[in-house]
Structure 1
Amino acid sequence: MTEHDLATLVRDHVSSDEPAFHHTDADVISRGRAVVRRRRGLAGLAGVAVLTLAAVALPQLRSDEPSKERVIDPAISQALDTYDAAQMPRIIDDHARSVFSTSVPDLGPARFVAFDSQSQELPERYWDKASGLFTGYGTDSEHRLSINLSHSRGEAEGDPDAFCSDGLDAGYYLECSVTRTPDGDVVITTLSAMRPMRGSAGLQAWSADFMGVTDDELDTIDPARLWFSSDVKVIKSETFVTYTSEAVQAPDLATARERLVVPTGDLATVGLDPALVMPTPPRGANGCSQWTMPTKAMGDVSCDVDRDPIVE
Protein backbone atom coordinates (compact mmCIF):
# COMPACT_ATOMS: atom_id res chain seq x y z
CA MET A 1 0.00 0.00 0.00
CA THR A 2 1.27 3.41 -0.85
CA GLU A 3 0.35 6.32 1.38
CA HIS A 4 -2.16 7.52 -1.21
CA ASP A 5 -3.72 4.15 -1.85
CA LEU A 6 -4.09 3.28 1.77
CA ALA A 7 -5.50 6.75 2.49
CA THR A 8 -4.61 6.40 6.08
CA LEU A 9 -1.37 7.32 6.24
CA VAL A 10 -0.61 9.66 17.03
CA ARG A 11 1.29 7.69 19.26
CA ASP A 12 2.51 9.58 22.43
CA HIS A 13 6.00 9.16 23.82
CA VAL A 14 5.58 6.18 26.12
CA SER A 15 7.73 5.37 29.13
CA SER A 16 10.49 2.83 28.68
CA ASP A 17 8.66 0.25 30.79
CA GLU A 18 5.35 0.62 28.90
CA PRO A 19 4.41 -1.32 25.76
CA ALA A 20 4.30 0.62 22.51
CA PHE A 21 1.04 2.01 21.08
CA HIS A 22 -0.81 2.13 24.40
CA HIS A 23 -1.78 5.78 24.98
CA THR A 24 -4.67 8.18 25.06
CA ASP A 25 -5.45 10.34 22.04
CA ALA A 26 -5.82 13.42 24.20
CA ASP A 27 -2.32 13.05 25.62
CA VAL A 28 -0.85 12.49 22.16
CA ILE A 29 -2.45 15.53 20.55
CA SER A 30 -1.69 17.73 23.52
CA ARG A 31 1.99 16.83 23.30
CA GLY A 32 2.17 17.08 19.51
CA ARG A 33 0.46 20.48 19.35
CA ALA A 34 2.52 21.81 22.27
CA VAL A 35 5.76 20.94 20.51
CA VAL A 36 4.57 22.64 17.32
CA ARG A 37 3.71 25.79 19.24
CA ARG A 38 7.09 25.83 20.95
CA ARG A 39 8.77 25.55 17.58
CA ARG A 40 6.72 28.47 16.24
CA GLY A 41 7.90 30.64 19.10
CA LEU A 42 11.53 29.71 18.61
CA ALA A 43 11.42 30.23 14.88
CA GLY A 44 9.35 33.50 15.09
CA LEU A 45 -0.98 0.95 -0.52
CA ALA A 46 -1.74 -0.12 -4.01
CA GLY A 47 -4.34 -2.86 -3.79
CA VAL A 48 -5.53 -2.07 -0.30
CA ALA A 49 -9.25 -1.50 0.10
CA VAL A 50 -10.13 2.21 -0.07
CA LEU A 51 -12.93 2.97 2.33
CA THR A 52 -15.83 5.16 1.23
CA LEU A 53 -16.43 8.03 3.63
CA ALA A 54 -19.21 10.54 4.22
CA ALA A 55 -18.52 14.27 3.82
CA VAL A 56 -16.75 16.39 6.44
CA ALA A 57 -16.73 20.18 6.15
CA LEU A 58 -13.28 21.73 6.44
CA PRO A 59 -11.94 25.04 5.08
CA GLN A 60 -9.63 25.25 2.09
CA LEU A 61 -5.97 26.15 2.54
CA ARG A 62 -5.89 28.22 -0.61
CA SER A 63 -7.79 28.22 -3.86
CA ASP A 64 -7.93 30.13 -7.12
CA GLU A 65 -11.38 31.28 -6.01
CA PRO A 66 -11.08 34.27 -3.60
CA SER A 67 -14.20 33.19 -1.66
CA LYS A 68 -12.38 30.02 -0.57
CA GLU A 69 -9.15 31.62 0.58
CA ARG A 70 -9.64 30.61 4.20
CA VAL A 71 -7.17 28.88 6.48
CA ILE A 72 -7.41 27.05 9.76
CA ASP A 73 -4.32 28.52 11.39
CA PRO A 74 -2.64 31.96 10.90
CA ALA A 75 0.74 30.20 10.98
CA ILE A 76 -0.32 28.18 7.93
CA SER A 77 -1.41 31.37 6.18
CA GLN A 78 2.01 32.89 6.83
CA ALA A 79 3.76 29.80 5.46
CA LEU A 80 1.66 29.95 2.30
CA ASP A 81 2.30 33.66 1.82
CA THR A 82 6.05 33.02 1.78
CA TYR A 83 5.86 29.66 -0.02
CA ASP A 84 8.81 28.87 -2.26
CA ALA A 85 8.72 25.40 -3.80
CA ALA A 86 12.49 25.38 -4.30
CA GLN A 87 12.99 25.73 -0.53
CA MET A 88 10.63 22.91 0.46
CA PRO A 89 13.21 20.09 0.39
CA ARG A 90 15.26 22.00 2.98
CA ILE A 91 12.27 23.12 5.04
CA ILE A 92 10.71 19.66 5.28
CA ASP A 93 14.05 18.02 6.07
CA ASP A 94 14.97 20.60 8.72
CA HIS A 95 11.64 20.37 10.51
CA ALA A 96 11.28 16.59 10.28
CA ARG A 97 14.90 15.86 11.19
CA SER A 98 14.67 17.99 14.33
CA VAL A 99 11.87 15.72 15.57
CA PHE A 100 12.86 12.31 14.22
CA SER A 101 16.51 12.51 15.26
CA THR A 102 15.47 12.18 18.90
CA SER A 103 14.53 8.53 18.35
CA VAL A 104 16.52 7.85 15.15
CA PRO A 105 19.88 9.64 15.53
CA ASP A 106 21.25 8.31 12.24
CA LEU A 107 18.53 9.31 9.80
CA GLY A 108 20.83 9.53 6.83
CA PRO A 109 20.12 11.73 3.80
CA ALA A 110 16.60 12.75 2.86
CA ARG A 111 15.07 11.89 -0.49
CA PHE A 112 12.72 14.54 -1.87
CA VAL A 113 10.17 14.08 -4.65
CA ALA A 114 7.59 16.55 -5.95
CA PHE A 115 4.84 14.79 -7.88
CA ASP A 116 1.83 15.70 -10.00
CA SER A 117 -1.78 14.50 -9.90
CA GLN A 118 -0.74 11.21 -11.52
CA SER A 119 2.16 10.63 -9.09
CA GLN A 120 4.75 11.44 -11.75
CA GLU A 121 8.03 12.70 -10.33
CA LEU A 122 8.52 16.31 -11.41
CA PRO A 123 11.72 18.11 -12.41
CA GLU A 124 12.44 21.20 -10.33
CA ARG A 125 11.07 23.60 -12.94
CA TYR A 126 7.59 22.14 -12.28
CA TRP A 127 7.70 21.95 -8.48
CA ASP A 128 5.37 24.95 -8.14
CA LYS A 129 2.68 22.94 -9.96
CA ALA A 130 3.00 19.87 -7.75
CA SER A 131 0.04 18.05 -6.23
CA GLY A 132 2.25 16.63 -3.51
CA LEU A 133 5.68 16.65 -1.87
CA PHE A 134 7.38 13.54 -0.49
CA THR A 135 10.39 13.32 1.80
CA GLY A 136 11.75 9.93 2.83
CA TYR A 137 14.54 8.53 4.97
CA GLY A 138 15.96 5.03 4.53
CA THR A 139 13.78 4.53 1.45
CA ASP A 140 15.82 1.46 0.39
CA SER A 141 16.19 0.01 3.88
CA GLU A 142 14.05 -2.12 6.19
CA HIS A 143 13.32 0.90 8.40
CA ARG A 144 11.71 3.80 6.59
CA LEU A 145 10.37 7.20 7.61
CA SER A 146 8.39 9.45 5.31
CA ILE A 147 6.44 12.68 5.13
CA ASN A 148 3.93 13.21 2.37
CA LEU A 149 2.14 16.52 1.78
CA SER A 150 -0.61 16.41 -0.82
CA HIS A 151 -3.78 17.99 -2.12
CA SER A 152 -6.41 15.31 -2.66
CA ARG A 153 -10.07 16.01 -1.99
CA GLY A 154 -10.88 12.31 -1.93
CA GLU A 155 -8.41 11.70 0.90
CA ALA A 156 -9.51 14.74 2.91
CA GLU A 157 -13.26 14.20 2.87
CA GLY A 158 -15.27 11.72 4.86
CA ASP A 159 -16.20 10.70 8.36
CA PRO A 160 -12.90 9.88 10.15
CA ASP A 161 -14.63 7.81 12.83
CA ALA A 162 -16.33 5.67 10.20
CA PHE A 163 -12.99 5.44 8.40
CA CYS A 164 -11.45 3.88 11.50
CA SER A 165 -14.33 1.62 12.39
CA ASP A 166 -14.68 0.33 8.82
CA GLY A 167 -10.93 -0.26 8.54
CA LEU A 168 -10.81 -2.11 11.84
CA ASP A 169 -13.84 -4.22 10.94
CA ALA A 170 -12.28 -5.14 7.60
CA GLY A 171 -9.00 -6.02 9.31
CA TYR A 172 -6.87 -3.57 7.35
CA TYR A 173 -5.97 -1.67 10.52
CA LEU A 174 -4.60 -3.36 13.59
CA GLU A 175 -5.16 -0.09 15.45
CA CYS A 176 -6.94 3.12 14.49
CA SER A 177 -7.92 6.25 16.43
CA VAL A 178 -9.19 9.74 15.62
CA THR A 179 -8.49 13.03 17.41
CA ARG A 180 -9.49 16.59 16.56
CA THR A 181 -7.24 19.47 17.56
CA PRO A 182 -8.43 22.88 18.80
CA ASP A 183 -7.23 24.37 15.50
CA GLY A 184 -9.64 22.15 13.55
CA ASP A 185 -7.18 19.55 12.25
CA VAL A 186 -8.36 15.94 12.13
CA VAL A 187 -5.70 13.42 13.14
CA ILE A 188 -6.07 9.74 12.25
CA THR A 189 -3.54 7.28 13.68
CA THR A 190 -3.23 3.77 12.31
CA LEU A 191 -1.11 0.66 12.65
CA SER A 192 -1.27 -1.74 9.72
CA ALA A 193 0.46 -4.72 8.14
CA MET A 194 1.52 -4.93 4.50
CA ARG A 195 3.70 -6.76 2.01
CA PRO A 196 5.70 -5.49 -0.98
CA MET A 197 4.24 -5.65 -4.44
CA ARG A 198 5.60 -4.80 -7.82
CA GLY A 199 6.32 -1.08 -8.05
CA SER A 200 5.21 1.45 -10.60
CA ALA A 201 7.16 2.04 -13.77
CA GLY A 202 8.73 5.12 -15.34
CA LEU A 203 8.14 8.47 -13.70
CA GLN A 204 6.04 6.83 -10.96
CA ALA A 205 8.77 4.42 -9.86
CA TRP A 206 9.89 6.66 -6.98
CA SER A 207 7.08 5.33 -4.79
CA ALA A 208 7.37 1.86 -3.25
CA ASP A 209 4.13 -0.09 -3.51
CA PHE A 210 2.76 -2.34 -0.79
CA MET A 211 -0.33 -4.51 -0.55
CA GLY A 212 -2.36 -4.34 2.64
CA VAL A 213 -2.42 -7.46 4.80
CA THR A 214 -5.48 -8.03 6.98
CA ASP A 215 -5.14 -9.26 10.54
CA ASP A 216 -6.46 -12.72 9.65
CA GLU A 217 -3.84 -13.03 6.87
CA LEU A 218 -0.80 -12.34 9.06
CA ASP A 219 0.00 -16.01 9.61
CA THR A 220 -0.21 -16.77 5.87
CA ILE A 221 2.46 -14.30 4.72
CA ASP A 222 6.14 -15.18 4.40
CA PRO A 223 7.68 -13.48 7.47
CA ALA A 224 10.52 -12.18 5.30
CA ARG A 225 7.96 -10.23 3.23
CA LEU A 226 5.91 -8.86 6.11
CA TRP A 227 6.03 -5.15 6.96
CA PHE A 228 4.25 -3.00 9.52
CA SER A 229 3.49 0.70 9.25
CA SER A 230 2.66 3.29 11.89
CA ASP A 231 0.93 6.22 10.19
CA VAL A 232 -0.45 9.59 11.20
CA LYS A 233 -2.78 11.29 8.76
CA VAL A 234 -3.59 14.96 9.40
CA ILE A 235 -6.47 16.55 7.50
CA LYS A 236 -5.92 20.31 7.41
CA SER A 237 -8.47 21.43 4.83
CA GLU A 238 -10.99 20.26 2.25
CA THR A 239 -8.13 19.09 0.06
CA PHE A 240 -4.86 19.18 2.02
CA VAL A 241 -3.60 16.11 3.89
CA THR A 242 -0.27 15.15 5.46
CA TYR A 243 0.89 11.60 6.06
CA THR A 244 3.78 10.90 8.40
CA SER A 245 4.85 7.27 8.56
CA GLU A 246 7.32 4.84 10.03
CA ALA A 247 7.53 1.42 8.33
CA VAL A 248 9.61 -1.58 9.31
CA GLN A 249 10.17 -5.09 8.02
CA ALA A 250 9.31 -7.53 10.80
CA PRO A 251 8.28 -11.21 10.90
CA ASP A 252 5.45 -10.56 13.36
CA LEU A 253 3.60 -7.82 15.21
CA ALA A 254 5.54 -8.24 18.44
CA THR A 255 8.85 -7.70 16.65
CA ALA A 256 7.38 -4.76 14.74
CA ARG A 257 6.45 -3.04 18.00
CA GLU A 258 10.09 -3.27 19.06
CA ARG A 259 11.36 -1.90 15.75
CA LEU A 260 8.89 0.98 15.46
CA VAL A 261 10.88 3.42 17.55
CA VAL A 262 9.42 6.81 16.63
CA PRO A 263 6.67 7.83 19.07
CA THR A 264 3.41 8.50 17.29
CA GLY A 265 3.32 11.83 19.08
CA ASP A 266 6.44 12.74 17.11
CA LEU A 267 4.83 11.63 13.85
CA ALA A 268 1.90 13.86 14.75
CA THR A 269 4.18 16.79 15.58
CA VAL A 270 5.61 16.67 12.07
CA GLY A 271 2.20 16.27 10.47
CA LEU A 272 0.77 19.19 12.44
CA ASP A 273 3.71 21.49 11.73
CA PRO A 274 2.23 24.65 10.11
CA ALA A 275 5.38 25.17 8.01
CA LEU A 276 4.80 21.90 6.17
CA VAL A 277 2.10 23.08 3.80
CA MET A 278 1.75 23.84 0.11
CA PRO A 279 -0.73 25.83 -2.01
CA THR A 280 -3.41 24.19 -4.10
CA PRO A 281 -1.90 23.17 -7.47
CA PRO A 282 -3.07 25.00 -10.58
CA ARG A 283 -5.82 23.52 -12.73
CA GLY A 284 -4.76 21.55 -15.75
CA ALA A 285 -5.34 22.75 -19.30
CA ASN A 286 -7.03 19.38 -19.85
CA GLY A 287 -9.96 20.26 -17.57
CA CYS A 288 -8.53 18.47 -14.54
CA SER A 289 -8.71 20.13 -11.15
CA GLN A 290 -4.97 19.59 -10.73
CA TRP A 291 -2.14 20.01 -13.22
CA THR A 292 -0.57 16.93 -14.85
CA MET A 293 2.87 16.92 -16.46
CA PRO A 294 2.49 15.93 -20.13
CA THR A 295 4.54 12.84 -20.86
CA LYS A 296 4.40 10.04 -23.42
CA ALA A 297 4.51 7.53 -20.59
CA MET A 298 1.17 8.74 -19.22
CA GLY A 299 -0.57 9.20 -22.54
CA ASP A 300 -3.43 11.67 -22.72
CA VAL A 301 -5.03 12.67 -19.43
CA SER A 302 -8.45 14.33 -19.52
CA CYS A 303 -11.09 15.14 -16.93
CA ASP A 304 -14.69 15.98 -16.52
CA VAL A 305 -15.18 19.12 -14.46
CA ASP A 306 -14.39 18.50 -10.79
CA ARG A 307 -13.73 14.81 -11.42
CA ASP A 308 -10.51 12.90 -10.93
CA PRO A 309 -8.12 12.48 -13.90
CA ILE A 310 -8.79 9.66 -16.37
CA VAL A 311 -5.84 8.24 -18.26
CA GLU A 312 -6.90 7.42 -21.80
Structure 2
Amino acid sequence: MSRRSLLRRRALPLLTAVEDVSVASHSDETMPAPPDHELLFLGAFPDSTRGRAYLRFDTSGLPAGVVTSATLRLASYSAPSCGSQTGEGIEVRRVVEPWTDGFLHWGNKPGSTADDAYIAAAGCDVPAEQVEWPVTGIVQEWVDGTSNYGFVLQHPDETLDDGYSRLASAQNTELAQPRLTVTMTVSSAPAFRRVVMQPLWTDESTLIATAPRFVMVMDDPVGGWLSGEFEIEHDPDAPDQGTGPIWGGGYKPGTMANGVKKAVVPAGLLADGWKIRWRVTATSKALVTVSSGWRKATVDAAS
Protein backbone atom coordinates (compact mmCIF):
# COMPACT_ATOMS: atom_id res chain seq x y z
CA MET A 1 0.00 0.00 0.00
CA SER A 2 1.47 3.37 -0.95
CA ARG A 3 1.78 6.13 1.63
CA ARG A 4 -0.03 8.44 -0.76
CA SER A 5 -3.20 6.39 -0.42
CA LEU A 6 -3.22 7.07 3.34
CA LEU A 7 -3.07 10.87 3.07
CA ARG A 8 -5.48 13.56 2.05
CA ARG A 9 -5.21 17.32 2.01
CA ARG A 10 -8.21 18.92 3.69
CA ALA A 11 -9.32 22.54 3.85
CA LEU A 12 -10.93 22.80 7.27
CA PRO A 13 -13.99 24.99 7.97
CA LEU A 14 -13.27 28.64 8.76
CA LEU A 15 -12.59 29.13 12.46
CA THR A 16 -14.04 32.16 14.25
CA ALA A 17 -12.58 33.80 17.33
CA VAL A 18 -13.99 32.55 20.64
CA GLU A 19 -12.24 35.31 22.60
CA ASP A 20 -10.83 38.66 21.51
CA VAL A 21 -10.03 41.86 23.35
CA SER A 22 -7.66 44.83 23.11
CA VAL A 23 -5.81 46.03 26.19
CA ALA A 24 -4.19 49.43 26.76
CA SER A 25 -1.23 50.22 29.00
CA HIS A 26 -3.35 52.51 31.21
CA SER A 27 -5.70 49.65 32.15
CA ASP A 28 -5.45 47.97 35.54
CA GLU A 29 -7.44 45.59 37.75
CA THR A 30 -9.90 48.37 38.64
CA MET A 31 -10.45 49.18 34.96
CA PRO A 32 -9.80 46.06 32.83
CA ALA A 33 -10.16 45.94 29.08
CA PRO A 34 -13.77 45.87 27.76
CA PRO A 35 -14.33 42.45 26.10
CA ASP A 36 -17.29 43.43 23.91
CA HIS A 37 -15.94 46.28 21.78
CA GLU A 38 -16.53 46.04 18.04
CA LEU A 39 -12.96 47.15 17.29
CA LEU A 40 -9.53 45.96 18.40
CA PHE A 41 -7.02 48.76 19.10
CA LEU A 42 -3.25 48.36 19.07
CA GLY A 43 -0.12 50.46 18.68
CA ALA A 44 0.88 53.88 20.05
CA PHE A 45 -2.04 56.11 21.06
CA PRO A 46 -2.00 59.95 21.08
CA ASP A 47 -1.91 60.00 24.91
CA SER A 48 1.38 58.00 24.84
CA THR A 49 -0.25 54.76 26.00
CA ARG A 50 0.30 51.49 24.15
CA GLY A 51 -2.16 48.81 23.07
CA ARG A 52 -2.23 45.15 22.05
CA ALA A 53 -4.99 42.87 20.77
CA TYR A 54 -5.46 39.26 21.88
CA LEU A 55 -7.45 36.62 20.00
CA ARG A 56 -8.07 32.93 20.55
CA PHE A 57 -9.64 30.39 18.20
CA ASP A 58 -10.88 26.94 19.20
CA THR A 59 -8.55 24.54 17.39
CA SER A 60 -9.48 21.47 19.43
CA GLY A 61 -11.36 20.02 16.44
CA LEU A 62 -8.31 19.98 14.16
CA PRO A 63 -7.18 16.41 13.41
CA ALA A 64 -3.66 15.13 13.81
CA GLY A 65 -1.56 15.82 10.73
CA VAL A 66 0.61 18.34 8.93
CA VAL A 67 -0.60 21.94 8.64
CA THR A 68 0.20 22.91 5.05
CA SER A 69 -1.17 26.45 5.40
CA ALA A 70 -2.87 28.58 8.03
CA THR A 71 -3.86 32.22 7.62
CA LEU A 72 -5.18 34.72 10.15
CA ARG A 73 -7.39 37.43 8.60
CA LEU A 74 -8.79 40.60 10.16
CA ALA A 75 -10.55 43.55 8.57
CA SER A 76 -8.66 46.84 8.88
CA TYR A 77 -10.88 49.72 10.02
CA SER A 78 -8.11 52.33 10.16
CA ALA A 79 -4.32 52.59 10.28
CA PRO A 80 -1.73 55.38 10.71
CA SER A 81 -1.31 55.79 6.95
CA CYS A 82 -2.38 54.30 3.65
CA GLY A 83 -0.21 52.38 1.23
CA SER A 84 1.77 49.17 1.06
CA GLN A 85 3.46 49.88 4.40
CA THR A 86 1.80 51.25 7.52
CA GLY A 87 4.25 52.39 10.16
CA GLU A 88 6.15 49.35 11.35
CA GLY A 89 3.25 47.05 10.46
CA ILE A 90 1.45 44.67 12.84
CA GLU A 91 3.18 41.64 14.29
CA VAL A 92 1.36 38.42 15.19
CA ARG A 93 2.88 36.26 17.92
CA ARG A 94 1.89 33.06 19.71
CA VAL A 95 0.70 33.63 23.28
CA VAL A 96 2.31 31.25 25.80
CA GLU A 97 0.28 31.95 28.95
CA PRO A 98 -3.45 31.69 29.77
CA TRP A 99 -5.73 34.73 29.76
CA THR A 100 -9.41 35.58 29.66
CA ASP A 101 -11.14 38.43 27.87
CA GLY A 102 -13.35 38.94 30.93
CA PHE A 103 -10.54 40.30 33.10
CA LEU A 104 -7.48 41.40 31.15
CA HIS A 105 -5.39 44.46 31.89
CA TRP A 106 -1.84 45.61 31.24
CA GLY A 107 -0.61 44.20 34.53
CA ASN A 108 -1.75 40.62 33.83
CA LYS A 109 -1.31 40.49 30.06
CA PRO A 110 0.16 37.12 29.02
CA GLY A 111 3.59 36.59 27.55
CA SER A 112 4.28 35.57 23.95
CA THR A 113 7.07 34.10 21.84
CA ALA A 114 8.79 35.42 18.73
CA ASP A 115 8.91 31.90 17.26
CA ASP A 116 6.99 31.91 13.94
CA ALA A 117 6.06 35.59 14.44
CA TYR A 118 5.15 37.55 11.30
CA ILE A 119 4.71 41.25 10.47
CA ALA A 120 2.00 42.41 8.05
CA ALA A 121 1.00 45.89 6.93
CA ALA A 122 -2.52 47.23 7.47
CA GLY A 123 -3.86 49.68 4.91
CA CYS A 124 -6.90 51.92 5.28
CA ASP A 125 -8.58 51.55 1.90
CA VAL A 126 -12.37 51.81 1.70
CA PRO A 127 -14.01 49.34 1.95
CA ALA A 128 -11.82 47.96 4.71
CA GLU A 129 -9.27 45.51 3.41
CA GLN A 130 -8.32 42.22 4.97
CA VAL A 131 -4.98 42.08 6.75
CA GLU A 132 -3.42 38.62 6.53
CA TRP A 133 -0.75 36.85 8.55
CA PRO A 134 0.60 33.38 7.65
CA VAL A 135 0.48 31.44 10.94
CA THR A 136 1.21 27.90 9.72
CA GLY A 137 3.98 27.30 12.24
CA ILE A 138 1.88 28.51 15.16
CA VAL A 139 -1.11 26.34 14.29
CA GLN A 140 1.18 23.33 13.79
CA GLU A 141 2.42 23.82 17.35
CA TRP A 142 -1.17 23.62 18.60
CA VAL A 143 -1.94 20.54 16.50
CA ASP A 144 1.18 18.89 17.93
CA GLY A 145 -0.08 19.43 21.48
CA THR A 146 1.20 22.84 22.57
CA SER A 147 -1.43 24.66 24.65
CA ASN A 148 -3.47 27.07 22.55
CA TYR A 149 -3.52 30.46 24.28
CA GLY A 150 -4.18 32.30 21.04
CA PHE A 151 -2.50 35.17 19.20
CA VAL A 152 -1.39 38.63 20.18
CA LEU A 153 -1.27 41.48 17.65
CA GLN A 154 1.11 44.31 18.46
CA HIS A 155 3.50 46.77 16.87
CA PRO A 156 6.94 45.20 16.38
CA ASP A 157 8.73 48.02 18.24
CA GLU A 158 6.48 49.39 20.94
CA THR A 159 8.97 52.14 21.81
CA LEU A 160 8.13 53.97 18.58
CA ASP A 161 5.33 56.53 18.29
CA ASP A 162 4.15 55.32 14.89
CA GLY A 163 0.41 55.56 15.43
CA TYR A 164 -2.25 53.00 16.12
CA SER A 165 -4.44 50.60 14.17
CA ARG A 166 -8.06 49.55 14.54
CA LEU A 167 -9.23 46.11 13.39
CA ALA A 168 -12.67 44.53 13.41
CA SER A 169 -13.38 42.26 16.38
CA ALA A 170 -15.68 39.25 16.61
CA GLN A 171 -18.39 41.61 17.90
CA ASN A 172 -18.35 43.72 14.73
CA THR A 173 -21.54 43.41 12.69
CA GLU A 174 -20.50 45.60 9.75
CA LEU A 175 -17.00 44.39 8.87
CA ALA A 176 -15.68 40.88 8.37
CA GLN A 177 -14.97 39.22 11.70
CA PRO A 178 -11.60 37.61 12.52
CA ARG A 179 -11.08 34.33 10.68
CA LEU A 180 -8.53 31.55 10.81
CA THR A 181 -8.31 29.28 7.76
CA VAL A 182 -6.41 26.01 7.97
CA THR A 183 -5.45 23.43 5.35
CA MET A 184 -3.94 20.15 6.50
CA THR A 185 -2.61 16.87 5.20
CA VAL A 186 -4.07 14.19 7.44
CA SER A 187 -3.57 10.44 7.62
CA SER A 188 -6.40 7.96 7.42
CA ALA A 189 -7.12 6.79 10.96
CA PRO A 190 -10.66 5.44 11.43
CA ALA A 191 -11.69 5.57 15.07
CA PHE A 192 -14.65 4.50 17.18
CA ARG A 193 -16.29 7.20 19.26
CA ARG A 194 -18.76 4.73 20.76
CA VAL A 195 -19.24 0.97 20.46
CA VAL A 196 -21.97 -0.92 22.30
CA MET A 197 -24.20 -3.98 22.01
CA GLN A 198 -27.68 -3.42 23.45
CA PRO A 199 -29.41 -4.18 25.68
CA LEU A 200 -26.72 -4.91 28.24
CA TRP A 201 -27.30 -5.04 31.97
CA THR A 202 -25.63 -2.35 34.07
CA ASP A 203 -22.58 -4.57 34.58
CA GLU A 204 -22.02 -4.33 30.78
CA SER A 205 -21.36 -8.07 30.58
CA THR A 206 -24.91 -9.44 30.72
CA LEU A 207 -26.91 -9.38 27.48
CA ILE A 208 -30.62 -9.30 28.31
CA ALA A 209 -31.95 -10.15 24.83
CA THR A 210 -31.45 -12.94 22.30
CA ALA A 211 -31.80 -10.53 19.35
CA PRO A 212 -29.57 -7.61 20.38
CA ARG A 213 -28.41 -4.72 18.25
CA PHE A 214 -25.01 -3.16 17.68
CA VAL A 215 -24.45 0.59 17.76
CA MET A 216 -21.19 2.20 16.68
CA VAL A 217 -20.18 5.81 16.17
CA MET A 218 -17.11 6.16 14.00
CA ASP A 219 -15.19 8.64 11.89
CA ASP A 220 -12.00 9.14 9.93
CA PRO A 221 -10.09 12.46 9.85
CA VAL A 222 -9.69 12.22 6.07
CA GLY A 223 -13.46 11.83 5.68
CA GLY A 224 -14.97 9.61 3.03
CA TRP A 225 -16.62 6.23 3.19
CA LEU A 226 -15.91 3.41 5.61
CA SER A 227 -16.82 -0.25 5.74
CA GLY A 228 -17.81 -1.84 9.02
CA GLU A 229 -18.35 -5.35 10.31
CA PHE A 230 -20.05 -6.75 13.42
CA GLU A 231 -19.10 -10.21 14.69
CA ILE A 232 -20.38 -12.60 17.37
CA GLU A 233 -18.64 -15.85 18.29
CA HIS A 234 -18.89 -18.52 20.94
CA ASP A 235 -16.72 -17.76 23.95
CA PRO A 236 -13.56 -19.90 23.61
CA ASP A 237 -13.69 -20.39 27.39
CA ALA A 238 -17.04 -22.23 27.08
CA PRO A 239 -16.40 -24.80 24.29
CA ASP A 240 -19.22 -27.06 25.48
CA GLN A 241 -21.70 -24.47 24.14
CA GLY A 242 -20.15 -24.40 20.68
CA THR A 243 -17.14 -22.98 18.88
CA GLY A 244 -16.46 -20.42 16.20
CA PRO A 245 -18.61 -17.73 14.56
CA ILE A 246 -22.32 -17.31 15.34
CA TRP A 247 -23.19 -14.26 13.26
CA GLY A 248 -21.56 -11.51 11.23
CA GLY A 249 -22.92 -8.49 9.42
CA GLY A 250 -22.11 -4.93 8.56
CA TYR A 251 -21.73 -2.30 5.88
CA LYS A 252 -19.64 -2.78 2.78
CA PRO A 253 -17.21 -0.21 1.34
CA GLY A 254 -18.96 2.69 -0.32
CA THR A 255 -22.16 2.29 1.70
CA MET A 256 -21.27 3.78 5.08
CA ALA A 257 -20.23 7.36 5.75
CA ASN A 258 -18.84 8.73 9.01
CA GLY A 259 -21.46 8.72 11.74
CA VAL A 260 -23.76 6.37 13.65
CA LYS A 261 -24.44 2.85 12.36
CA LYS A 262 -26.65 0.11 13.78
CA ALA A 263 -27.29 -3.56 13.07
CA VAL A 264 -29.73 -6.05 14.62
CA VAL A 265 -28.78 -9.68 15.24
CA PRO A 266 -31.45 -11.96 13.70
CA ALA A 267 -33.68 -13.81 16.16
CA GLY A 268 -32.97 -17.49 16.83
CA LEU A 269 -29.18 -17.32 16.63
CA LEU A 270 -28.46 -16.80 20.34
CA ALA A 271 -29.66 -19.01 23.17
CA ASP A 272 -30.32 -18.02 26.75
CA GLY A 273 -27.35 -18.86 28.94
CA TRP A 274 -24.75 -18.76 26.18
CA LYS A 275 -21.40 -17.13 26.76
CA ILE A 276 -20.29 -15.13 23.74
CA ARG A 277 -17.70 -12.66 22.58
CA TRP A 278 -18.25 -9.83 20.10
CA ARG A 279 -16.37 -7.08 18.28
CA VAL A 280 -16.71 -4.49 15.53
CA THR A 281 -14.15 -3.46 12.93
CA ALA A 282 -13.99 -0.53 10.53
CA THR A 283 -11.92 -0.11 7.38
CA SER A 284 -11.28 3.19 5.61
CA LYS A 285 -11.08 3.79 1.88
CA ALA A 286 -7.29 3.75 2.31
CA LEU A 287 -7.58 0.18 3.70
CA VAL A 288 -6.67 1.19 7.25
CA THR A 289 -8.51 -1.07 9.70
CA VAL A 290 -9.30 -0.57 13.37
CA SER A 291 -10.95 -3.05 15.74
CA SER A 292 -12.79 -2.62 19.02
CA GLY A 293 -11.20 -5.83 20.28
CA TRP A 294 -13.13 -8.82 21.56
CA ARG A 295 -15.59 -8.17 24.39
CA LYS A 296 -17.37 -10.89 26.35
CA ALA A 297 -20.98 -11.18 27.50
CA THR A 298 -23.43 -13.76 28.84
CA VAL A 299 -26.92 -14.05 27.34
CA ASP A 300 -29.49 -13.81 30.15
CA ALA A 301 -32.79 -12.78 28.58
CA ALA A 302 -34.63 -13.45 31.84
CA SER A 303 -32.78 -10.66 33.68
Structure having the higher Rg: 2
TM tier, smaller: under 0.3
The structure in which a higher percent of residues are strand is 2
TM-score, length of structure 1 as denominator length: 0.23
